[in-house]
């Protein structure tokens, strides 16, 4: 079936293009905001060929799979001249994997129930806002990280004289260029996306991000006596000071100032006066207050992380790695994991690599081990339905997408949700002990191996295996076949 035929079938089931208020997509789903939900023929939509599943929520979510979701959404918008909605908040770990028809109805429904039961506290709204800023950048983060890692690997091979010649040197430079094109200007992209979320002009948000890394900032800091030429990193004000935290705060301030200035500016002068005055005020606040203060906070956070994550004490490394991996799944369940994204970015900016992401990635591997143990129990009890769910969800689990296993298997059973985390902790302890770092963050599981620094890839893989085994053993120790009665 062609994309156009799929689009027509979807439109028929949801009440036509005229029933669509706006539409957008995430990695695997088309998300449709409808004018009248009563016009939807849900059974027809769920049975449409190439539709992998449907989640009934405030925004109708039609699961089409990676790649297909974007292509079909783009064609739908172009063909019928529809409004494109804002990029949705989605799980950063749920990328690059098809959602199996065999488990969609179970785990997605459970997930939505869990989400809807959460109270929208200010903290959670703030975390979701952070997620909305960074999630659209994940494909670029992954690509840039891969290119940077490959550039580093080729550079090492050249230095060791394993390879030589202009071809390899040219390849190294090209990969470095591609990686730097995003990671080197990460602050600008953060500024643009922050402006989208705060309702500011996107280009002005990008300028705030660019200001934080622009070379003239050093001249300005020197003039004010805030720059330490002997130890630039200890300067009160310098390029990159405050990192993305400063950029996000700066763009939030920009959004407030822009609205006030525009409100008091005559329409005929708006195009000139509003951006000029807004940027002037925001710029002064950025260099005089926001960057120094957020830089101070960022330095404290980095130093605190180094006490645990970067500790040279093997006992501390093992304990911190175990605890972080073991508690990550409850954080995902509560929606708190989005708050870790700025920490990833701070580590990347300050340390050149991310050590927290590889440790937390072990949590999904613990789920896989637990699911395998449950599968064996399901076979013993001849539970065909549970076997089918696990069989469909395991490939996604190995590739780093844990939602089908969490919401379809371990969370409904309760006990294995805990044992999976306890088992994952062993993999996290190993990864932390071996100092594994990644060049970016994104999907976990086996597909994250290329994101690791070349000399740490093998240790990341060993960590996954340990987490698989740990999740399996802990689940076998604390569960009995009779515990599956909930899903019989």
Residues classed as catalytic: 26
Q: Closest Cα partner for 28 from 457, 434, 443?
A: 443
Report residue 347 as tokens.
Answer: 């580590």
Class of residue 345 by CB neighbours under 10 A (exposed 0-12, middle 13-18, buried 19+) = buried
Taking alpha carbons only, the member of 327, 332, 409 closest to residue 367 is 409
Residue partners of 454: CB distance under 8 A and separation at least 6: 149, 152, 153, 156
> Distance between CA atoms of 249 and 243, rounded to whole angstroms?
10
CA 125-129-134 angle, 5° bins: 150
Chain-centroid distance of CA 118 in Å reads: 20
**Any idea of the CA torsion for 4, 8, 14, 18, to the nearest 10 degrees?**
90
Evaluate whether 470 touches 430 at the Cβ level (below 8 Å).
no
Phi, psi dihedrals of residue 16, rounded to the nearest 5°: 85, 165
CA atoms within a 13 Å half-sphere pointing along the CA-CB vector of 310: 13
Helices (runs of H) and strands (runs of E) counted in the chain: 22, 4
Could you tell me which residues come within 8 angstroms of residue 107 by beta carbon, excluding any fewer than 6 positions away? Answer: 389, 393, 403, 404, 405, 406, 407, 408, 409
Residue 164's Cβ-count burial label (10 Å; 0-12, 13-18, 19+) is exposed
Adjacent-strand bridge partners of 32: 23, 60
Tell me the C-alpha to C-alpha distance, in Å, between residue 20 and each of 44, 63, 131, 268, 327. Answer: 17, 17, 26, 35, 40
Give CA–CA dist 109/54, Å, rounded.
9
């Amino acid at each position: 079936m062609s994309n156009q035929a799929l689009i027509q079938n979807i439109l028929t089931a949801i009440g036509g293009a005229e029933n669509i208020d706006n539409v957008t997509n995430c990695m695997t789903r088309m998300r449709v905001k409808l004018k009248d939900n009563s016009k939807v023929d849900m059974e027809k939509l769920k049975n449409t060929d190439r539709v992998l599943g449907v989640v009934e929520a405030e925004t109708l979510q039609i699961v089409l799979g990676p790649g297909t979701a974007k292509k079909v959404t783009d064609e739908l918008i172009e063909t019928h001249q529809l409004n494109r909605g804002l990029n949705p908040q989605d799980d950063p770990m749920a990328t690059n994997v098809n959602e199996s028809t065999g488990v969609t109805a179970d785990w997605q429904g459970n997930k939505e129930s869990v989400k809807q039961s959460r109270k929208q506290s200010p903290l959670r709204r703030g975390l979701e806002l952070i997620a909305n800023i960074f999630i659209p950048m994940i494909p670029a983060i992954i690509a840039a990280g891969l290119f940077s890692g490959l550039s580093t690997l080729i550079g090492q091979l050249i230095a060791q004289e394993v390879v030589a010649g202009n071809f390899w040197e040219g390849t190294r430079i090209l990969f470095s260029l591609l990686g730097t094109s995003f990671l080197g200007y990460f602050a600008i992209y953060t500024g643009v996306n922050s402006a989208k979320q705060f309702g500011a002009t996107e280009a002005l948000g990008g300028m705030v991000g660019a200001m934080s890394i622009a070379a003239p900032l050093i001249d300005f800091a020197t003039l004010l006596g805030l720059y330490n030429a002997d130890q630039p990193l200890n300067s009160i004000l310098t390029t990159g000071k405050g990192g993305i935290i400063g950029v996000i705060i700066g763009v939030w301030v920009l959004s407030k100032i822009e609205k006030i200035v525009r409100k008091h500016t005559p329409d005929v002068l708006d195009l000139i006066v509003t951006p000029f005055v807004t940027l002037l005020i925001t710029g002064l606040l950025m260099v005089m207050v926001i960057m120094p203060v957020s830089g101070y906070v960022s330095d404290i956070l980095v130093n605190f992380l180094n006490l645990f994550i970067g500790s040279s004490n093997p006992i501390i490394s093992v304990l911190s790695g175990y605890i972080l991996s073991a508690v990550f799944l409850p954080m995902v369940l509560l929606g708190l994991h989005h708050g870790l994204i700025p920490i990833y970015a701070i580590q990347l900016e300050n340390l050149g690599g991310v050590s927290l992401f590889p440790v937390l990635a072990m949590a999904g591997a613990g789920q896989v081990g637990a699911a395998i143990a449950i599968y064996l129990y399901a076979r013993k009890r001849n539970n065909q339905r549970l076997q089918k769910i696990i069989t469909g969800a395991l490939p996604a689990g190995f590739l780093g997408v844990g939602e089908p296993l969490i919401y379809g298997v371990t969370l409904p059973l309760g006990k294995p949700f805990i044992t999976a985390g306890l088992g994952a902790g062993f993999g996290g302890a190993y990864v932390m002990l071996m100092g594994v770092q990644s060049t970016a963050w994104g999907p976990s599981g086996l597909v994250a191996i290329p994101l690791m620094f070349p000399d740490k890839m093998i240790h990341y893989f060993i960590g996954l295996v340990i987490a698989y085994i740990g999740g399996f053993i802990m689940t076998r120790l604390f569960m009995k076949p009779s515990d599956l009665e909930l899903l019989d």
